[in-house]
Amino acid sequence: MWLYSILILTICSQYVTAQFGTFPQDFGYVNIREGAHMFYWLFYTTADVENYTQRPLVVWLQGGPGGSSTGIGNFEILGPLDLTLQERNHTWVKNFNVIFLDNPVGTGFSYVEDPRFLTKTNDEIALDFVELMRGFYNRHPEFRGVELYIYGQSYGGKMAVDMALRMREAEQAGTIQSNLKGIAMGNAWIHPVDATLTWAPLLLAAGLIDQAGYNDIQTAAREAERLFNEGLYVESTAQWANTQQAVFRSTTSVDFYNILTKMHVPWNPDTRTAYEISRDMMIRNGPYFSNSSYTRQGEVNLYDLMNNEVKEALGIPSHVTWGSLSNAVFDTLREDFMKPVTEGIEKLLAQENPIIVTKYNGNLDLICDTPGQILWVDRLNWHGAEGYKNAPRNPIWEDNRLEGYYKSYGSFRFFWINDAGHSVPRDNPYGTRAFLRDMTSYG
């Protein structure tokens, strides 16, 4: 392992003059198009292998849209260090080479020279991703044949669908040398209307609202659906936010990311719109808001960490300020926000030699709740639909503990994970092992 670490540091030195922490890493910007600069942070695997290319390359995408993967995904969820700056027991770096990507461009350390360069659609985000990976492979040709997997949480799962379509298209055209093998959509914003319509039934079944609360929430959700069906997509997004406010009213601010806890909503609704509150809450998508001054005992403040020690170590331009959120990114995608990507999933499943398509969900999440996911999964139009419907639902046992269930047919899988909210890898790393092994053979 000592020689292996020296080898990695030597390779890194071709592009990196400093780093944050002791874990072998690489980082940098790819100029994906005029005025748009995307930042990635790669951690080489610490697995006991002769060469790091013997393990897959995993790209982690945060949600929002506009949530920073290099900050939230890295330090809060699955990177090598947690927010106490100690080694994380369940870091994915133990088994994989992991890229934390600040996307869409304008998120985290990624930046644009003018707001007009921000992306407006999921497909534009996907095209940027292909350019990012093309630049990455130019710097790291040793990864071109390595198995590539895209894991996206929340809105990151929605982005992963179109990214996979565009990557496969580029692979088949020979314009990129990569080896995409699968995507995973974790508590993902795949069909927003389905998700919003199932909030009230889930909360009622859990005993968190009464019939009056159910009626209030469901009335708001139906209006979001009506607006979407009429093609009023920006208005539907605003009504989605109003539906969240109905949930807060009826539940005394249940946590949208774990229904067993309460969410702190620090803004005065008299001075901020429902859309602004919902936008900022969803972008941060963590157990607390990383841009705030609040930290848990023993932890550093993520905003301060990223804008001081990390920024200096990674040589980030002085004009770039890291944030766990990007209001500009979210607002620019407001029209695309409520649009589903189920057709894209069907296209992936219909391809010759299809990649693995995994859906996993924590059972305590509300915002991307499991009942809403099941609705669109059951409506998928693909050749394996009947086979999946009739497939057995099997238990997930890890160390003699039931961590959930899974169901699979062909290249599609669904994992129900117990004792987990919106961020399954953080909440239940033992259940996470199941879908990692299923897709990659490691975990």
Domain end position, chosen among 244, 259, 282: 282
365 is catalytic: yes
Among 128, 324, 422, 438, which one carries the catalytic annotation?
422
154 is catalytic: yes
Same domain, 199 and 188: no
Same domain, 79 and 208: no
Tell me, what CATH number does 16's domain have?
A: 3.40.50.1820
Look up the domain containing 235 and give its range. 193-282
Place of tokens 């993967």: 69
Same domain, 170 and 210: no
Same domain, 88 and 41: yes
Please check whether residue 314 lies inside any domain of the structure. no
Same domain, 90 and 146: yes
Please check whether residue 297 lies inside any domain of the structure. no
Same domain, 89 and 186: yes
Question: How many structural domains are present in the chain?
Answer: 2
Task: Pull the structure tokens for residue 12.
Answer: 């890194």
Give me the phi and psi of 125, to 5 degrees please.
-60, -40
Same domain, 206 and 187: no
Same domain, 36 and 175: yes
- C-beta contacts of 304-311 below 8 A and 24+ residues apart: 305/75, 305/83, 306/68, 306/70, 306/71, 306/108, 306/109, 309/20, 310/20, 311/109
Same domain, 86 and 155: yes
Digitized pLDDT (tens) for each residue of the chain, 443 residues in all: 333 333 333 334 344 458 999 999 999 999 999 999 999 999 999 999 999 999 999 999 999 999 999 999 999 999 999 999 999 999 999 999 999 999 999 999 999 999 999 999 999 999 999 999 999 999 999 999 999 999 999 999 999 999 999 999 999 999 999 999 999 999 999 999 999 999 999 999 999 999 999 999 999 999 999 999 999 999 999 999 999 999 999 998 899 999 999 887 655 556 667 777 777 666 544 444 434 445 677 899 999 999 999 999 999 999 999 999 899 999 999 999 999 999 999 999 999 999 999 999 999 999 999 999 999 999 999 999 999 999 999 999 999 999 999 999 999 999 999 999 999 999 999 999 999 999 999 99
Please check whether residue 323 lies inside any domain of the structure. no
422 is catalytic: yes
Domain end position, chosen among 239, 261, 282: 282
Among 68, 69, 110, 154, which one carries the catalytic annotation?
154
Same domain, 177 and 202: no
Strand partners, 405: 395, 416
Same domain, 184 and 226: no
- Enter the pTM of the model: 0.93
